[in-house]
Each structure stands twice: as C-alpha cells, then as structure tokens.
Structure 1
C-alpha cells in the first residue's frame, strides 16, 4: 500500500511538472518567413521564459492544417502577412476573440478586427513606383493607373495575389464595386506584360525597362536601399521614383502583418502574452529595423531605410471593411481579365 501510494504520488508530481513545463511554451503557426524575426522570438523568450515553438508555411496551408487538426490542434497563435487570410481564418472559426487592455491601448482601432479575433502588428504601404527617365507625369492615385496615357506601361501582380485582392477590396470599400470594375478593366488594358512574380520583380521590371510604372509594398524597395539587389544596379535604383498615392483623399493603402489566438489554443494565456509582446516598443522597432516595415503602434521610430521614403498620409480605413470586400474584389478582378 505504501509503495502504491508513493508510486501514485510520484506520478502526480511528474504530471504536475509536465503541466508546468507545457505552460511555458507557445505554439506559433506563422507565414512570416523572415530570418530577422528570429530576434523577436528569442527576445520574447528572454523576457518571459516562454519558449516559442514554430510551424512555418504558406498562410493557406497553415489554415488548412489548423482546420484538419480541429479541436486537437496544438496551434496557439496564427500569424500571417495579409488581411485576407486573417479574415478567412476568423470566418472559418479558427480564431477566438480575446480581451486585452494592452492590445486595445496600443493597436489603433482600425488595425483591429471588429470582433477582436485578430490584430495588426506591422504595416507596409502599397505605393506606386516609376521610371524617372521615362515618366514625366507619374500617376498620383491608384485611380490614375487606369488613364489611357499609361497604356502598355504598368507592371503589377496577379489577381490571385492577396496584395492585389486587398487593394481592390479597399478601393471597393471607398468607391463602390461598379467604379472599381471600370478601374480594373482599364488597368488591365494598360499592362506592360501579363501579371507575374513578386513585388521585387515589379521593381526589377522598371529597372530592366520592361515597364515604366509598378505597384509594390514599400518594404521591398526599402530592403533594396539597405541590402542592394543583384538585378538592380545603384544607377537603376537612382532612376526609380515613388509616389504615395491618394494623398488628397483616401491616403496610401496599407497592407499588414497580424495575428490572433487559435480557437483551440492549449496555451491561451501565453498566446495573448505573445501578441501583447509584439506591440511592445522593442518588438515594434524591430519590425522596422529588421524587416523595413512600418510599426502598427503610433509613435515608434522608423529605421533609416524606411524613413528615407518620407512622410505620407496612410489610408486609415477599418481593416474589417477591407476584409468584408475581398470576395467582391476577386470577382471584379476576374471579370476584368486580370490574370
């Protein structure tokens, strides 16, 4: 009897120790693939003692994985690089609403999901770039891309890309679906080539002379300023100008990285602590210094490569309004023949 009781007590102690160890971890499903994020994770662990376990992959793949895992999913946090997939995960019931005074205080309301399923932690302005040697009157708004004078000059990403879907959804929220349908159809008529490649490829298209105008997120250009690019010479880079669009009305469209707590998070409190950490001064500065992004928290300083682009007026539309128009945006782009 004594040995049995001792054995039981030993088992209980072991289980208790395991539970305590499990409580000091957070399982992150992330589509952010930047090596610089390693510092975010190590600093969070140093500050809290909570180990970050990561599963990285494409946002859609991670969503499918969470759905397949169901209630047994080990995911605590879903982190991705666009509003489209954040909204999709929430709509599929893969995220849970949370209450956090820290997140509410530090993240502006328009950068939060209306139901608190997700929050933005960094931003990238989606702006227009142009060849200064070829374009004397660059477009000053997203709508200007539809002007006949830019026929055969525009390089841009495909209709399946979430950044393209986001900008179309934002314009629908501002201008209405009919107006954006006309816009998208006219922009397709101005393509210099069929949509292809990533944002850096659009900038390379300007450098190579394949197109005179392109749309890209700012952090790709800022990264070239900081690190260079094997396919863009310093002379070619100097000939690329940029415009923050719509500075007299809606402002420049902002893409975001953001995240939320998984619906079945086994370490829910640690997950919330991790999201709160991403709004800290340290983490926000690192988004800018490490990955050339704009902080989501107001008042945080910018890295030189980001500040070099200048001050601008961002579009402060509620991200939930963009998410609500993504389905309409996909239809508009397909109807326009935007490949």
Structure 2
C-alpha cells in the first residue's frame, strides 16, 4: 500500500495544513507546496516513494503560495516548491521563500539555461509557446514570432490577454533578443493584426480557429495534448483536430519555451529529504514520467517525450537563459500597456 498522502487545501483554508500532527516533521517525509494539480504530479510522487521509501505530503494552492509561506515564517512546513512558469519561480525567489541548492546531481541533469545561476530554482519540463494554425486555411509550414507583425496576418490572429504570464514570457524573450524599441514596434504591428481583442485562454483560441474567427493563435504545446485526450469535454478534441502546431523560429534561434520547476523552501524542516526529492525530480526517469503526464518536454537532453507530444512535431527550443528572459518581464508588461495591446486592433 502506498505511503503517499496527498492533501488538497484551498487558499481560504484557515486550519493548518499539517494539522495531522508531528508526522509532517518526522523522518521519511517531504512536504510539497504545489501550484500544479496533485493528480498531475501523483505518478512521479509514487515513483519517488517506491524508490526511496520517503512519503510525500502535498498542499495545492492555485494562488498565494509565496504569501502563505511568508506568513508561516520560520515555522513553515514547506520543504519543496513546485510551480509552473518562470515568473512564479522568480516570484518565489524574489519573495524570499527559497534557498540556494548547489548539487552536482541536479546540475548535471538540468542544463544551465534552465536553472537559476544561484541555484534558487530549477526547470523540470518545458512547454513551447507555439502558433496554432488552421489546417484548412493556413498553408504555411513555418513561421517566426517576428512575422506575427507582418500585414499578411491582418485580422487573422487570436490571443489571450497580453498581460498573461505566458505571453509576458514570450514578449520578454523578444526584448532579450531584439531590445525594447524593436519589441514595441513589433507589438504594435502584432496588435493591428489581431482579429479581436485578446480574450479567453489558450484552448479557446483553438476553438476560435475552428469557428473561423481567426486563422492563427498563440498557445502552449501542452494544451494541445490536453484537448486531444479530453474525454470529459470531447468537443475539445474537435478544436485540437482543427489546428496544426507551428514551432516559430525553428530555422534560426528556436521556439520560446517556459518551464515547470522546483525550488527548495527557505525553512525546509526536512531538508535532506527535500534535496533527495529534488535529485529524483531532476533524473531522467522522473522527467519522463512528469513530462508524459503533463504533455511537456523533459529538460534533460535525450530524455523521451510522450507519443502525443512527439506527434506535434519537432521542437528546437530557444537556448536563451530563462533568467535573462525573466529579467525583462517588467519591461514587457509595461510595453503591453504602452501600445494598448489589450484594446485589440485599431479600426
């Protein structure tokens, strides 16, 4: 019988998560605060406990993770932080709730451009910020992010809120590659090519393409896998079937990717077990389990992707340091407001 115990607690919960008693601080356990849904990480937790005998306790939060750990202070039971998006990893670091890890095993398995130079966070899997394109109306087989400002796409692009962290990450990468002035001009051209005001989420962009509202859109790769396998809402399979995935800039610098990642909590009470867990997550075995579950790409070179992810096509990830990209997020957010991106196209 598995020793893993997964606990899901909403942000509004007022009772202490580890009210189960002193067991949370006992030997042989590790406490995980996660922005990622427990069911998505359960297979890798099962594998970790099977290999090490160390049980896991999981607190899932959909927001406010940094604030919670800060409020708990030195008595926080958090050992490891799991999250998605470079922005949230940087938020945890800048919020003072992480501590550096210098570990040869982790550094060997995770390429340098997917980890914080000071060891405050580490990437585990990546997702590409790609172009969803209509199979019926788009004959192009290649595209660049720069081309999204080309007038040939006028009135043909859909996108979610420009201030969403997924888009800010991409815009920040454009600043890192081209500078602020170029990116401002590019964003204005991009905005004028929109079919409507930014709206919805990544999945709804695929739905809009199927409905003929636009021909291309920006979206994360893993949403395609989620739509393709959605038995609960099978209409999403039709949205996925209506699009093809184009990997921007495959012929030059590569496609912008974001990460899911991990960090060691500042006051980890089970630090040794936490580092063991982080070493396991960095391993090829764990990356492949994790990546298959969430339809993402392992960061370890040579690690296998799932059949569904492989079906999207070949990705050539941009190797620009995510730390460099993160440093431009504030400037990217300011540009979104400056050009009025969320107002939609100029009539």
Q: Same fold (TM over 0.5)?
A: yes
1:65 to 2:68 alignment:
yes
Question: Take 1:43 and 1:181, find their aligned partners in 2: how far apart are those partners?
Answer: 46
1:289 maps to which of 269, 289, 292: 292
CA distance in structure 2 between the partners assigned to 1:114 and 1:301 by the alignment? 26
Please provide the CA RMSD for this pair: 1.9
* Cα displacement (A) at 1:242: 2.2
The residue that corresponds to 2:252 in the other structure is: 249
- Identify the residue that residue 4 of structure 2 maps to in structure 1: none
Residue 289 of structure 1: how far off its partner (Å): 2.2
Distance in 2, matches of 1:116 and 1:325, equals 20
2:307 maps to what in 1? 304
2:130 pairs, out of 124, 127, 144, with 127
Out of 35, 40, 53, which is 2:44 matched to?
40
Tell me how many residue pairs correspond in the alignment: 320
CA distance in 2, matches of 1:266, 1:237: 44
CA contact under 8 A between 1:122 and 1:295: conserved in structure 2? yes
Note the residue ranges of structure 2 that are not aligned, 5 or more in a row: 1-21, 343-347
- The one of 21, 26, 31 equivalent to 1:27 is 31
Q: Cα–Cα, structure 1 residues 307 and 138, in superposed 2: closer, same or farther, change >3 Å?
A: closer
User: What's the CA shift string for 1:194-237, capped at 9, x where partnerless?
Assistant: 22222111111111212111111111112333446533454x64
Q: Which whole-Å deviations, capped at 9, do the CAs of 1:149-188 have from their partners, x for residues lacking one?
A: 2112111121231101100111111110111111112212
Output one character per residue of 1:33-74: Cα deviation in whole Å (capped at 9) or x when no partner.
16232111122122222221111112x411111122222221
Question: Contact conserved, 1:226 with 1:305, CA < 8 A, in 2?
Answer: no
Match of 1:272 in 2: 275
Seen in structure 2, the aligned counterparts of structure 1 residues 31 and 233 have a Cα distance that, compared at 3 Å, is: closer
Structure of greater Rg: 1
Further displaced range: 20-29 or 44-53: 20-29
Distance 2:69 2:341 in 1: 31
Question: Are positions 1:136 and 2:129 aligned together?
Answer: no
Q: Pick from 225, 228, 234 the counterpart of residue 230 of structure 1.
A: 234
Which residue does 2:338 correspond to in 1? 335
State the SS of the aligned residue for 2:126.
Answer: strand
> Residues 94-109 of structure 1: matches in 2 within 5 Å?
94-109=97-112
Distance 2:105 2:336 in 1: 38
Correspondence for 1:171 = 174
8 Å CA contact 1:121, 1:279 repeated in 2 = yes
Structure 1: state its 5+ residue gaps.
1-17
State how far apart, in whole Å, the 2-side matches of 1:206 and 1:127 are. 14
